[in-house]
Amino acid sequence: MAYFSSDFKLGILGGGQLGKMMLYDTRKFDIQTYVLDPSPEAPCRIACNHFVQGSLTDFDTVYHFGKQVDVLTFEIELVNVEALEKLEAEGLKVYPSPKTLRQIQHKGRQKDFYAQNNIPTAPYQRFESMADLKKSTSPFPFVWKSAEFGYDGNGVKVVRSWTDLDGLPDGECIAESMIPFKNELSVIVARNVSGEIKTYPVVEMEFHPEANQVEYVICPARIDEKVAEKARAIALAVSEKFNHVGLLAVEMFQTENDEILVNEVAPRPHNSGHHTIEASYTSQFENHLRAILNLPLGNTDSKVAGIMVNLVGAEGFSGDVVYENIEQIMAIDGVTPHIYGKRETRPFRKMGHVTIVNQDMAQARKIAEEVKNTIRVIAGPR
């Protein structure tokens, strides 16, 4: 099928920043795009060919949207899987597949999948409700995770006493053993329809202690080469077991004794791969497109050391966004801001990111700190 400068239609469920960055590359290749999102101000709206406002979780909305396109993908997991299954049964190409999404969407099923496939992961227990969890003998501390609908630090909490569960939503959840670890790592795997597979270099993630959001993504990870090889091998094993098409971001813990444990996965472009736009030969977004369209995968090597700094709304500010001191960071060599197009800021909301590239990793990390301390995402008059 001719994808380029043709009548071919690619559908994307979700119109957030991941979709917007995917559209950088559909524009480059002149691929016609349809986007579905509930927000009239979705970041994708500015860059797609056809924008449809509607619910991602409503069966009819997703089904009718899918009927308009030739290939359907998504940039968020919270979509109606039943509609995707019906579309796939009727012959639509949906990548990653509804089967993969169903396994990953529910954290309990995802953890069971690792256990059944001998993929190393932290010990866990599943519970039907908060009441069941409170009857259990789970030793403190443990990590509570909502089985569904968690994202960006929501739906995850470290529990050191029963009072830490107060105010958390009831429903299915898991209690996961707290594992002492040296590093949180991530490996992005690209796999096309024909089975060609490539991994990006291992990245290291530094988290904000309160928001449980990634503050810095550092590539390459500052770890021993043997540990990096082990992480990439485990990521490949996870990908092969899921038999996914597209991108799979595999988040992992490096334990104190250098074992690798899989934390969770995301079947889409991921925050831990944003640096690839500037630092890699082929960005994660381009390789996602190549994979779902069954084109040859691009080179996943890095051209240069890259660090990504998340831009999130400053505490105490809500309203029309202002990027304070953005001109100052743009004056620094190797610094590229990406502004997502969300007009309203609120504390810890993801509003953009900044990539720092440099031949010297130590210098890149120093500049990343300077960027983090200079730019602020606040609210103010336009």
Residues 269-282: tens digit of each pLDDT: 999 999 999 999 99
64-92 pLDDT tens trace: 999 999 999 999 999 999 999 999 999 99
How buried is residue 40: exposed, middle or buried, by Cβ count under 10 Å (0-12/13-18/19+)? Answer: exposed
Please answer whether residues 101 and 108 qualify as being in contact, where contact means their C-beta atoms are separated by less than 8 angstroms.
Answer: no
Please answer whether residues 128 and 134 qualify as being in contact, where contact means their C-beta atoms are separated by less than 8 angstroms.
Answer: no
Average pLDDT, the chain: 94
Cα–Cα dist 298/283, whole Å: 8
Cα–Cα dist 290/279, whole Å: 18
| Token pair for 122 | 């932290």
| Token pair for 274 | 């944003």
Cα–Cα dist 364/160, whole Å: 36
**In the sheet that 376-379 helps form, which strands lie side by side, from edge to edge?**
344-345, 319-324, 376-379
Residue 211: pLDDT band with limits 50, 70, 90: low
295 has a pLDDT exceeding 70:
yes
How buried is residue 30: exposed, middle or buried, by Cβ count under 10 Å (0-12/13-18/19+)? Answer: exposed
How buried is residue 253: exposed, middle or buried, by Cβ count under 10 Å (0-12/13-18/19+)? Answer: buried
Please answer whether residues 161 and 121 qualify as being in contact, where contact means their C-beta atoms are separated by less than 8 angstroms.
Answer: no
Mean pLDDT of 153-179: 88
User: Can you give the pLDDT at residue 312?
Assistant: 93
Q: Which helix (H) or strand (E) holds 286?
A: helix 284-292
| Token pair for 51 | 């924008």
Cα–Cα dist 303/329, whole Å: 22
Q: What is the DSSP letter of 382?
A: -
Mean pLDDT of 33-38: 98
231-243 pLDDT tens trace: 999 999 999 999 9
Q: Closest Cα to residue 138, out of 164, 105, 169, 117?
A: 164
| Token pair for 235 | 């990521």
Strand partners, 377: 313, 323
| Token pair for 40 | 């009239």
116 has a pLDDT exceeding 70:
yes
Greatest alpha-carbon span in the chain: 60
Tell me the pTM.
0.94
Contacts of residue 253, defined as CB under 8 A and 6 or more positions apart, other chains included, come to 122, 179, 181, 183, 184, 185, 260, 261, 263
Phi, psi (deg, nearest 5) at residue 184: -100, 125
Mean pLDDT of 207-226: 86
Q: Given the DSSP bridges, would you call strands 260-266 and 197-199 parallel, antiparallel or unpaired?
A: unpaired
User: Can you give the pLDDT at residue 207?
Assistant: 80
Cα–Cα dist 354/274, whole Å: 9
Please answer whether residues 351 and 54 qualify as being in contact, where contact means their C-beta atoms are separated by less than 8 angstroms.
Answer: no
- Tell me how crowded residue 89 is: count the other CB atoms within 10 A of its CB: 10
Please answer whether residues 351 and 340 qualify as being in contact, where contact means their C-beta atoms are separated by less than 8 angstroms.
Answer: yes
Cα–Cα dist 103/87, whole Å: 18
Tell which phi-psi region holds residue 289, choosing left (phi > 0), alpha (psi between -120 and 50) or beta: alpha
Q: Given the DSSP bridges, would you call strands 214-219 and 203-207 parallel, antiparallel or unpaired?
A: antiparallel
User: Can you give the pLDDT at residue 380?
Assistant: 82
Percent of the chain scoring above 70 in pLDDT: 97
Count of all residues that appear for the chain in the document? 382
User: Can you give the pLDDT at residue 153?
Assistant: 62
